[in-house]
Amino acid sequence: MAAKRNSFAARLVALSLTACASIPAFAVQSTLEQGAEAQGNIHHSTVVLRALDKITARITEIELPVGEEGHFGTLALNVRYCRTRPPIEPPETFAYIEIDDIKRGGTRERVFEGWMVASSPALNALEHPVYDIWVMSCKTDSPEAQGDSR
């Protein structure tokens, strides 16, 4: 049991350090995919985000496929990576997200790039005057939906 706790703590520290480091997304993704596979983490194809518009108090759940761009208000959301732990370990979801604020004229300003952890949304949060975004969970498309292309 102590070995599992040490392994959990080591992974949490590694994830926290990676979240704070300014490493390009593609390098982080490939390195963590290799490490996640070895640790038994489960890769998912869709992330579930919760978004809050602070002006209107509107809360929206967004299901966004990994690698595709979604929008909430003036924000452009792009999830590069979404994983959860296997069922035999304590539940945890983490996602690598890039968020751009689209200004007038179509120019983009990167307002967030990094890891968000579902159990600790304040660990690495989006700091925006109008919007809040946080990770809720990851999902995998059902095999029936993927194979139903007749």
98 forms beta bridges with 78, 113
Beta bridge partners of 52: 59, 132
Domain presence at residue 93 = yes
Question: What pTM value is reported for the model?
Answer: 0.65
Each residue's pLDDT tens digit, 49-78? 999 999 999 999 999 998 999 999 999 999
Contact 78, 33 (CB under 8 A): no
Query: Quick check: is 97 in a domain?
Result: yes
Which residues constitute the domain of residue 65?
Answer: 2-140
For residue 120, give the H/E element and its range. none
In a domain, residue 108? The reply is: yes
Instruction: Let me know if residue 149 belongs to a domain.
Output: no
Least confident of 19-33, 63-77, 128-142: 19-33
Residue 54 lies in a domain: yes
Indicate the number of domains in the chain: 1
Cβ atoms of 41 and 84 closer than 8 Å: yes
